[in-house]
Structure 1
Amino acid sequence: MSPQATESGTSLNRGLITVSIMLATIMQAVDTTIANVALPHMQGSMSATSEQIAWVLTSYIVAAAIMTPMTGFLSARIGRKRLFIASVTGFTITSLLCGVAGSLDQIVLFRLLQGIFGAGLVPLSQSVLLDTFPKEKHGSAMAIWGVGVMVGPILGPTLGGYLTEYYNWRWVFLINLPVGVLALAGILMFVPETEKMKRRFDLFGFTLLSLAIGSLQLLLDRGQSLDWFSSTEIIIETMVAAICFYMFIVHMMTAKEPFLEPGLFRDRNLVIGLVFIFIVGVVLLATLALLPPFLQNLMGFPVITTGEVLAPRGIGSMIAMLLVGRLVNRIDVRLLVGFGLTLTAISLFEMAQFNLNISPMALVHTGIVQGLGLGFVFVPLSTITFSTLDQRYRTEGTAMFSLMRNIGSSIGISVMVAWAARNTQTNHAVLGEQLTPFREPVQKLMEGQGVGMSSDQALAMLNGELTRQSAAIGYLNDFQAMAWMTLAAIPLILLFRGASRKPDGKDSGDSQKATPQEA
């Protein structure tokens, strides 16, 4: 067979592998946010309270967070392809069960199972792509992978809002079925298997890490509704998380065969990359969590319009990833990360200047700029993080990469939502001191509404507008805080070791069967 035919066959095989695993990645990434907009409809259908229906999201988040670190161990024990097949099959079946659930208990249980099966999809897809493509093409591979991981959560609310508005909330789960079936067929036919490795399961270490992550996710998810540390539950969850994290680290450093090998964290690029992806998680998901209530509750946008305004953010990310995939082997990736962080910070500073009369085009503009910035960060960051990591740690490293992004998202959403709520109360008190019947703007407002200053209607209307403006300032303070945090992260780029751009024969990805170390 000629070299040209061999290369053509290899490229075709890589293309089919990429399509197959990206279907699974996009399915899981979209599912992280698609159900959010459907919660009110689900609440009415299930006759549930707001706190009860919130468990539809909480159960998924906690289960996925706990099971993500298991990806490396399970991949080594049963083989990466077998784990991928089991994950896609389980995720697709549980999506169907969520779509046909008849009670709140059923849907919470099925969402928990969906989180368990979906936890490994993103790290497995990243690991497969890194092993499939040669090292000099890792930038292009991460650009393809990043489209699914970054654009999925952005487009999730738009797709979820459309399906809920024009069809039924059950379709936010049922839409996974055709995607899951196609992904499964592709993985079965094209993805090569890795050799199984004998590795003892560290039950004690896994239990400590699971308790720590589960408690952290619970306190972050429920803290705002329970008023944080005035709640006994939150105090207990904080103590459990802190103690278990400490015990896990001590155990990992002293055990003979720990759940996570310490050698994983001796790679400087991986450690710095985990810090950066944590920050990306905070900025991306916290922004997406703040904008819908800002647009719907304060500016009066309907769900569909909110989705349409947010969608260009995903387009910006997609454009950036396609561009950076070509630049990553020509320009120092650290410069690309710095450029992306700068664009992200600029967009957040622009968002901090919003008001309640901002035009939809201004919202679209800042969304595109932020999407471009995050796209320029994500691809080179994914490339340089794993550029110096030993192949035998690859699946475990990608699992930690996904875990830190998810934890960053959870912490970012919880902290920013709580801070916005506290700032709203403070702003209400400060601004309220300035509202008197003798101030001309107050008099004009009342005259414009045709009501007297002494009427209850006037006071209620005035208080409503005061609350609205106070909340808006609270959101803008959040955007400004995230902008400064993004800028503060830029100097950390200097800690990265530069990635070699020379082809690496051992990492060529042409082999159809990985070695045990590649598991």
Structure 2
Amino acid sequence: MSAASITGAGNIAAAPAAGVPHRRMITLSIMLATIMQALDTTIANVALPHMQGSLQASQDQIMWVLTSYIVASAITLPLTGWLCGQWGRRRVFIVSVIGFTIASALCGLSTSLVGIVLARLLQGVFGAALVPLSQAVLLDINPREKVGQAMAIWGAGIMVGPILGPLLGGWLTENYNWRWVFFINLPVGLFALWGIARYLPESRPGRERLDIFGFATLSLAIGMLQLFLDRGQQLDWFDSWEIKLEAAAALVAFAFFVVHTWTAQGVSFFDRSLLKDRNFVTGLLFAFIVGMILYGTMALLPNLLQSLMDYPVIYTGEVTAPRGVGTMLAMIVVGRLVHRIDVRAIMALGFGLTAFALWQMTHLTLQMDANLIIVSGFIQGLGIGFTFVPLSTATFATLAPVLRHQGTPIYSLLRNIGSSVGISIVQALLTRGADTAHAQLAATVVPGNQGLVNLPSMLDPGTTTGLAILNAEVTRQGALIGYINDFSIMTVLTLAAIPLLLVMSSPRHTPAAVVGAIDADEAAAAVEVPH
């Protein structure tokens, strides 16, 4: 939901921006809430392997900690404007902060996989509104001449997450335990809540209508699709009746959504007019692809570094932090280029850099140092920064202003769905690829293999001890092959997406109003990695 639509939904009353009292305290309070949410996008990522051991979860199961948040956030985000219209923006902000803080505490207290997944679902539900609400408030409380400064502050808060998140998450996990990556939200959330409740003025509800049937069928389709993807590998896909039912439920729910949307005469969750804009439809496809690539990569790296390469958790945070730095630098540059250069050329550069970084990751070995991880991460960060802002600009450049209110949440929704689908797919491919590689390598570890003759006696495959040690090494090598296969597939997917840029049109002059209409969540996503 765009900041503009949230502002409009609330029918803000009140004083002109220049006369808003306590502007500094309002800014501090809402930015604390924003930083809390932005920091949480990366702070938990490096702790995933530790959570896996503590909660006795498999590698594919621990990914539910990521996908549950993304799916809940994706489903809830489009409701933000309607909720503000029903109950007022201040109440929605307060409830969101309270819910996010309590959910963070529940995450830290969880003792089982089911418990933390449910808590993460709550985090996604309550956290979805924080970033777009914070931008909407800043736009309202600042006079026109200070909007640029306010957005700079807001952008800096968003960028704290990808830069400091891995470092802080690694430090907390190393010196305390993984639970503190969630407990740290408690004091921040309480202070933000106090400031918002005390200083933020209320908006007047606007009583907007909601297409409940459309929202319900789309939510059901997304939820069933995610269950299908998350549990498919574990239950051997269509050999399981559960997987068959989940696939059928997703298809039926989506079919109902499509038919309802196509025949609806009144309020519809998805405006059919959006499909008439070529740039918007193509932008949705790109948003889905970018979500898959970005979140899929970041879901793989922490486990690879900690489980296969034995990196300490704090060092994992240090070597993955340059990705956020690269994104920040690219966004600073692209902000100056987007009005001067064809946005398709900038996006092509971004996709090219991302593909090059993924290609570099296909050269990973278990004996190498961290330089390749740092350099490839920084380059991918540059690619992300050169992709997101031009993509948002091109997507909405030709869309009628009256449709942006509908278009921005759908755009964010597609990106979030791409993220969750990407995580599930790369994890399923990793598991299958590692198992296949293990079987192929293990077939060569037999007493008659001449390549094993000169091994030390402790590695003799004819002994139980030697065979166990060799099997452990084969497992590591097979897992590495699985990771490399995933990075290879994402490289090809990224390169294959570049020709689609020709389908989009690039207006010679991109109106400033279009850039200003870019969804708050989209701007956050430009520097965001998995929750």
Does TM, scored on the shorter chain, surpass 0.5?
Answer: yes
In the TM superposition, what whole-angstrom CA distance separates every residue of 1:39-62 from its partner, at most 9, and x where no partner exists?
A: 666677778999998766565444
AA matched with 1:222 = R
1:416 counterpart (420, 426, 448): 426
Structure 1 residues 99 and 460, CA gap change in structure 2 (3 angstroms)? closer
User: Residues of 2 paired with 1:138 and 1:484: CA distance?
Assistant: 41
AA matched with 1:428 = H
User: Residues of 2 paired with 1:387 and 1:194: CA distance?
Assistant: 30
Shift in Å, 1:320: 1.4
Moved more, 193-202 or 256-265: 193-202
- Does structure 2 conserve the Cα–Cα contact (< 8 Å) formed by 1:68 and 1:400? no
- Does structure 2 conserve the Cα–Cα contact (< 8 Å) formed by 1:206 and 1:259? yes
Counterpart for residue 374 of structure 2: 364
Give the count of matched residue pairs: 501
- Does structure 2 conserve the Cα–Cα contact (< 8 Å) formed by 1:80 and 1:193? yes
Structure 1 residues 193 and 157, CA gap change in structure 2 (3 angstroms)? same
Structure 1 residues 309 and 38, CA gap change in structure 2 (3 angstroms)? closer
Structure 2 gaps, min length 5: 1-16, 519-531
In the TM superposition, what whole-angstrom CA distance separates every residue of 1:262-286 from its partner, at most 9, and x where no partner exists?
A: 3344443332222212112111111
User: Residues of 1 paired with 2:514 and 2:24: CA distance?
Assistant: 20
Structure 1 residues 376 and 50, CA gap change in structure 2 (3 angstroms)? closer
TM-score, normalization by structure 1: 0.81
Counterpart for residue 247 of structure 1: 256
- Does structure 1 conserve the Cα–Cα contact (< 8 Å) formed by 2:459 and 2:467? no
- Does structure 2 conserve the Cα–Cα contact (< 8 Å) formed by 1:132 and 1:508? no
Give matches, 1:480-519, under 5 Å.
480-499=488-507, 500-503=509-512
Counterpart for residue 228 of structure 1: 237
User: Residues of 2 paired with 1:345 and 1:142: CA distance?
Assistant: 31
Structure 1 residues 76 and 48, CA gap change in structure 2 (3 angstroms)? same
1:475 counterpart (483, 490, 494): 483
Counterpart for residue 4 of structure 2: none
User: Residues of 1 paired with 2:438 and 2:118: CA distance?
Assistant: 41
- Does structure 2 conserve the Cα–Cα contact (< 8 Å) formed by 1:139 and 1:325? no
Moved more, 319-328 or 410-419: 319-328
Structure 1 gaps, min length 5: 1-7, 510-519
2:304 counterpart (291, 294, 299): 294
Moved more, 203-212 or 268-277: 268-277
1:260 aligns to what SS in structure 2?
A: coil
User: Residues of 2 paired with 1:301 and 1:425: CA distance?
Assistant: 23
User: Residues of 2 paired with 1:468 and 1:396: CA distance?
Assistant: 48
Give matches, 1:6-45, under 5 Å.
23-38=32-47
User: Residues of 2 paired with 1:407 and 1:218: CA distance?
Assistant: 13
Structure 1 residues 357 and 328, CA gap change in structure 2 (3 angstroms)? same
Moved more, 41-50 or 63-72: 41-50
User: Residues of 1 paired with 2:302 and 2:476: CA distance?
Assistant: 15
Give matches, 1:3-402, under 5 Å.
23-38=32-47, 59-80=68-89, 82-99=91-108, 109-125=118-134, 152=161, 156-181=165-190, 183=192, 196-255=205-264, 256-402=266-412
AA matched with 2:502 = L
Shift in Å, 1:245: 0.9
Counterpart for residue 455 of structure 1: 463
User: Residues of 2 paired with 1:480 and 1:55: CA distance?
Assistant: 24
Structure 1 residues 234 and 124, CA gap change in structure 2 (3 angstroms)? farther
User: Residues of 1 paired with 2:406 and 2:195: CA distance?
Assistant: 24
Q: Cα RMSD (Å) of the superposition? A: 4.2
User: Residues of 2 paired with 1:268 and 1:144: CA distance?
Assistant: 34
Structure 1 residues 395 and 79, CA gap change in structure 2 (3 angstroms)? farther
2:453 aligns to what SS in structure 1?
A: helix
The answer to whether 1:466 aligns with 2:474 is yes
Shift in Å, 1:80: 4.7
